[in-house]
Amino acid sequence: MTYVGLGARMVTGAADATGRNPGNWTVTFDPNTINVNVAHFELYKLIVKGAAASATFDVYVNVNQWDTAVYAVHNSWDPTQPLLLNPGDTVYFFYSSASSDGNKPVITAWFRYDPALTDIYGLT
């Protein structure tokens, strides 16, 4: 596989506006933030910083939980376990820490795609 990088996106947490994590920090990578227009792509690398020392987070794609992280202060994601996405998906990071604690989490996500999938499926 020869991947093509789609760059990084950095998002700072905000008080939850989804209603799914009330009172806590939520980091949202929505379709406008991700801004990728290939049929299948990966969130393959993730760097998290800034949360409270005791914080954890759960990762959701749209409404389905994909992962959980027990150490949300300063961590990264193993690129051998990428998150597969499609255009229109939203990735949420629901933190366990209160948005009033002053410790805004910051996440940098790196995206890529495999152009061979475009050739196989005729996708762009």
Domain coordinates in residue numbering, the chain: 4-117
Instruction: Choose the CATH number for 4-117 among 1.10.3470, 2.60.120, 3.30.420, 1.10.287.
Output: 2.60.120
The model's pLDDT over 87-121, given as tens digits with 9 standing for 90+, comes to 999 999 999 999 999 999 999 999 999 988 765 44
Chain center to CA of 2: 22
| CA 54/CA 16 separation, integer angstroms | 18
The model's pLDDT over 52-81, given as tens digits with 9 standing for 90+, comes to 999 999 999 999 999 988 788 888 877 788
As beta bridge partners, residue 60 has 65, 92
